[in-house]
Every structure is written in structure tokens, then in C-alpha cells.
Chains A and B, each alone.
Chain A
Amino acid sequence: MRSVGRRLGPFADWGPGLGLLLVAAALPTLVSSEYVLLGASMIVTMLVGLSFNLLFGYAGMFSFGQATFYGVGAYVTVLLINRGGFDFFTALIAGMVAAMLVAGVSGAVLVRLEPIAFIMLTFALADLFEFAAGHARGLTGGDSGTIVSLPDSLNIIVGVDRVYYVILGVAVAVLAVAFAFVKASTGLVLRGIREDALRARTLGIAVERRRLGVFVLAAAVAAAGGGLSVLSTQIVYPSVFAWQVSANALIVTLIGGVGLFSGPMLGAVVLGLIDFYVGRLTTNTLLVDGLVLLAVVLVAPSGVGATGRGSLLAAPGAFVRRVRSMARDARADPAG
């Protein structure tokens, strides 16, 4: 049992995520279809967050371009369904493979770059795709978007619950693969590379190859999110490549906890709920998202899913300590 516990790592890392998945599994029986739709969009956001977390949280690679792979997943899925007559799952897998190819080719250069260049070029890559998707009207319909032609069995308006379970099912499979990846030796080696790449190199680790591996995996995860988004939105615009998609991946990971497996799941739920309720009051959800992110960074910098130092649980204690120390300083120096 001890050895199993060690393999899975601390409960706090995966427990909250497992809890959320259990709630997600029961969601259609608990709430109205409006909230089931919200759940579906949270799952899609979570996958892009997971993709970012695999790179940044585990390997220390700050990508600001996961929208590239999300978008490739979405477009390849739609185009193969509409033009190739493929069924959804084949198209989804093809979308993931296509994203992996794009990641493999671009990553061969990207993973060798310094962090700042990596951020800028991952960002630029997504921009390039957004431009291309907007201009290749014959293929993508340009800014008017492409409506996907799905059978009734996958039409979310016809059967919300069924489509929701398809989305959840695929997401769980992706989560399982990602979890096995980070808990296996590969995950440990990546965390080592994140901590000190030169040390890793001098231990004989092929740093670039490992980075490329996780870059390709993360692309597949984001592409799964993109492909699944086709089910919930039924239309794909060039904005699937927009920086907001990459930013959302970053925000949900920061809110939930960087490097925590449950992080993006918690973050996606928090962000989804906020956007849902705030969206009823104002269109400026971005402003509120920003304030929430600010609050998390200030109050619980390790994310809401974290335990120990920098967590939400530790926040009241940290606050009390800070007030006390301020009071002490004030007493020690009354003039100040």
C-alpha cells in the first residue's frame, strides 16, 4: 500500500481532481441542461489547462501558444467530418495526430530556445495559424467560421447529456494518459529538467528530446480539447487560435495550482463558474477574471488546490502572521 501511495504521489495532488470527476460524472442527474453545457465547456478549458500544466508545471516550459494545438485539433476535426465524411472519433484522433505533427516539427526548434524566445515563438505560432485560418476562406470559411455537420446522436441540442458524456469520457481518457505520464519516470525526469537543465544534461539526460516529447504530448491534449469543443460549440472560428485560449490555459493553471495534477481542473471550475455568473451581469468577464487571478496570486500564490505554504488553507494563518508582525513593527517603532 505504501508503495502504491508513493507511486500515485500525495492525495492532495490528484484527490481534488478525482472528486471533481465524480461530480462531473453525476452532473446531468444533478442540474439542468444549462449547467451541463457549462460543465462541458469547463472540461474543454480544463484540457487546454492540462496541456499548459504538463509543459510549465512539470517541465518548466512556459508556452503561450497552446491555442495552436487546440485550434489544429478543432479545425482538423471539423474539416474531416465535413469534407472527408469521417465519423467524429476518427476525426478527433486525426486532429490530435495533426497537432502532434505540428508540435513535432515546430518543437524541434522551439524546445532548444531560451525561455523568453520560447514564450514569444509559441505565441507567434498561434498567431500565424489564426491569420492563416482567417484567410484560407475556401477551406475554413474565414471569419464567418465553419459549422460542423454532426449526426443527431452527437448534436448537443438534440441530446445534451449524451454529448456531455462523450466529452467527459474522452477527457477522462486523456487525463488518465497524462496522469500515467507524469507519475511515471518520465515525469520525474522532466521535473528534474525543470529544476536544473545543466545538471540533467551532465547526468546524461537528453534534455531536448525529453522536452520535445512532452511538447508533443501536450499538443495532443490541447488538440483533444479543441476537437471536443466542436461538439459543444458546433462551429469553429479562427479565434480558436486566439491568444485568449492560451491565456485561459495559463489562468486556470495558476488559479488551480501550477504543477498540481488537479490544478487545471479546479481552475477550470472556478473560472467557469465566475464567467458564467458574471457573464449574466456584465460582458466584461475578462476584467473579473483578471481580478480573481490577482486575488489568487496575492492570497494563495500556490493555487487554490495547493496544500501547505502559499495555499488557500494557509492564507488565514499567513494573514494573521502578517498583521501581527505589522503590529509588532508599529509597537517597536511608534514614531513610524
Chain B
Amino acid sequence: MRNKRGKFLYCRMLLSLVLPLALPLVTFFGHPAAASPRQESTSEELLLLPGEIGRPGGRLVVSLRAEPKTLNPVTSTDAPSREVIGAMQAELVHINRATQLTEPALAKSWKVSADGLQYTLTLRTGTKFSDGHPVDADDVLFTFRVYLDEKVHATQRDFLIVGGKPISVRKLDSYTLVFQLAKPYGAGERLFDGFYILPRHLLEKVYQEGKFDQAGALATAASGWAGLGPFRLKEYVAGQRLILERNPYYWKMDPLGNRLPYLDEIVFLFVPSADAQVLRFQSGETDVISRLSAENYAVLSRQQRGYTVVDAGPGLEYNFLFFNLNDPTEKMSSEMLRKQKWFRNVKFRRAVSAAVDREAIVRLVYQGRGAPLWGPVTPGNRRWINTSIPHPARSLDRARSLLKEAGFSWSKRPGGDSALIDLDGNAVNFSLITSSSNADRAKMATLIQDDLKQLGMNVQVVPMEFRSLLDRVLQTKEYDSCLLGLVSFDADPTADTNVWLSSGGTHLWNPSQAHPATPWEAEIDSLMEQQLAASSYEQRKKLYDRVQEILAEEEPMIFLASPDILVGAKNLIGNFHPTVLEPYVLWNVEQLFFRNGSENNPR
């Protein structure tokens, strides 16, 4: 199961480590509805969303980094597809990206049995798909049958396997469903976020013909596709844009009882480079922008013309340096074995960590718009960060004394600077691989190279293409050290299970171990298993705090920094409240509106 999960994380990581969507988390059972549903028509229960009252109309233009590959929520793996699908689909229970807590969506309420194994969900009545077809429990049954079907290869399938067994779904009546788990699941109903309810009336036939993976191609006719999200498909022009229009049957309303969304249309333009996206935003061609780099943020904030750029604070991305700690094999060169002697020494790793100038990384790479890290949980994840982890300042003296304790010494080099030498008289030099497509990490690598030069270490930075980098780290294991970043797709620790478990596929420094290689890895394993099964937040927090402590002590990863989420929007846009969870700006797309309403007409 964990391996499969590994594969899932792995393919997510391929998407440039920027993972969209959200998933499991915390335990807030029986969380009360954000507002009690009000009856608009006799049978339709609309969900009331608090927020500024907007004006209807208008067209929002957004740039996407690449053309989405599919509209099919089950088979999509790429970030652009996820962003588009997020505006077109809805799930049973939703994680509010601002509060990071769950809230009712298509399920208006849920109950958990005392043993934590049975979830009973009640659906909102009178809800309709974007083509007007009513929703009932059969659609939900169909949805989970598809997600669980191995032949469909749903990327999220592994999340539905709890305690080694797939979740089973039963229908009580046309609005009530029971989900049965084999084992208690710590993150609780966060499980349901990201499982979009599919239109059975449109997809059952294709599914039975075994062609489900072909459904939802971008070229699908607008009438052949439906969802429960605020927008529905209108037009797709290959290589240029995708246009969504307002879903007139959407099931949310504002405090005045107006049916959401406010906008008439969303246009996704395909703009491949980040710089081109900035230029388009600057010229007013697009209305919002997310994932800004600190440099581009500075450029935009220097010349604000009718738009605002916002620093939403540190996100969930953590960047780190790690060494190759894989078990020795026959294929490993003698040089690698020699280097591993240093890497395995925790004092060596601590010395490197002490020498890294995290403040300089935040200042020079993120222009101050980021946070230095000493553990994997970023300050953006307020509920889970262990605030008692020490934040030692950079100290070359401490680094030197640690190295001395570990038996290293220094030799005078003819040039005047001294070289670090290990017990056997070998000079300490190693390579540091990093992704060539990520300018931020390349910059960090150059800074670290200079930091470590002051300890007498000779580090060679090797930028390489992202896929071959992953191949080296996870498959061939031919590397010395690597600088990488991960974005947790949810604030809950479950999201990173696969990174911390020694058997995990993304346990980067030594992936997919049969048995934990070290006692501390074994301890992390057991802590993670316990927190996954524990039911209260306090219990889980205590366990996860300890995991963070061990990681900070043993430093298998030397945590560096986390960038702030930087976004921008035109001043005309109302209800613009960016979050640090993806999708940063469009998470409340149903509430976004133009202050000048429909005057913001299609160009």
C-alpha cells in the first residue's frame, strides 16, 4: 500500500513538485455546517457562503503554465488540469483553503461511528449537475466505484485504501451513504476532499466499455461534459485558451440568497513561461496571477498600476539538502562508499547545517519573502509546526568543532585556504545536484557552495534536468547530495507520510527500505503509524512534534527555507483572499467578482 502511495507521490512530484489539490487531514468530526442551508426552492438546499456581496457578470482571465491534459478528474495528474478541474467539479466534504479545516460540500452533514470505522454522509437535496441532471447517491456510488477500479488507474486510489483494504461504500437511501473503513483514519473526513463526484448519466457507458481514461478530453463537446463545480465547459481552442462559463445550477449562495458564482466566464490562457505570465498580467491582459517569484513580485510591486500584489506568507513548500544515505550495494563505487562514511556521520551533517546561512538564502533568493527552516513544517502550517525546535544561528565555529569531533582536520593548501580532510587523509569534496529548471534552488546551491567552501569542503554544483535528477535519487542512486523542494498538498501530516516512513517511495535519502536502516528511522516509522491511527488532534500533534524533533536532531535532510506565496490581482476584483494552500487565488472562485460587474466585458 505504501509503495503504491509512493508511486502516487512520485508522479505528483514529477509535476515539478508543485502539487495541487488537497487531501486528508485532521479530526474534526461532526464539524458544524458553515451556515445552515436555507431553502430557496422547495427541494433545493443551497449552501450559504459568508463573504462580501458581489456584482454578477464579468469575465476573469487567468494564465495557466501549460495546456491542461484532460478534464477528467480521475485520471488527471498535471497541475494545470487540476487547476481547471477545481473550478468545474465538487466533492462531498471540502477542506477550506483559508481555515485549513473541513466544511460540508455536497454532503451537508456526516456522522462518525464511535470506533471511527463508519462514516455516514447525508447529501444535499435537489442538487443538479451543470447540465441540469439531478444528483443522488447512485452518482456517489458510481464515483467511488470508478476511483477504486484498478483498471482506471486513478491517481488518488491509494488514499481510499485504509489499513490495507479499500473503503467500501453502501447506499442507505437516495441521499444517505455509509463508508466503511478497515482501520481508523487519523485525518478523518479530510479523506473526501479531492474526490470529485462524477456524472453517472454521462460516464457510465464509457466506463462499462472500458474507455474511461479517454473521457474528458479537452476536445469534448460542452454538452458531453458536466460537473458540480461553479463553472462548466464552454469552449476550447487548442494551444490558446479554455473558456468556462457560469454553472446556473451551482449549489452555493451568498448571504442575500443570490446564487453563486458571480462571474459569467473564466478564460484560461496558456502561457508557458513565468516571465510571459508576468508581462501579460502587467499589461492588464490577465486579471489574477499566482506563483510569482520574489523578483517578479518586486518588479510588479514597484510599478503598481490598477493591481495589487499580495504576500500571503510562507506556504507549504520546504526546500532542503540531503545526502545519499542509501544502503551500500555491489554496484556502488568505492568512491561513493568513502563519501558515505562522511554522510552517515551525524556530526558531519550537523556541521553542514550549522554552516548554511539560511538568513542569506531567504534574503538573496527570496528577497526576504520567505522563512528560514529548521524542520519540515513551515510557519505557514500553523496547526502542525513544532515551535519548540531550536533555531540555532549560523556558526562556522560550531561547524568546525563538530567536524573536529568527528575526526576531520584541515590541511594548508598552496593557495592559502585550507582544505578539509577526513581520517584517512582524503580531501572532502562532493557534488550537489539540483534541478536546472528551478532558478531559486540553483541560487541556493551556489550560496551553500560558498558556505561550505569556508569549512574547506569543495562542493561542485551540478544543475540537471528534473526528470534525470529524480531518476538518480530514486532509481540509480548515483549522486552525492541533492537540493530539492517538496510541497505538501495538505497541511495534515498524512500528506507527508510517504516522505517520513522508511518504506516510503519518497523517503528521499534512502527510499523504499525493507527494514528501517537506523533506530531513529524506526522510531519515526512507529510514530507516523501511531499518529495515523490516533483520533484526537492533541494526540496526533504530540506524535508529529516528536517526528519533527527527530528530523531536526538527526538532520537526514538539512532544511533550508520556505518561500512565501506571492500572488496578485486587479484592484477591481472583489473577495480576493489568497491562501497558502493551492489553488492560491482561485480557491474561492465562486465568490470572486468584478466591482464594475458586467462592464468588465469580454474583450
Decide whether A and B assemble into one complex.
Answer: no
Q: Which residues of B contact A (CB under 8 A)?
A: none
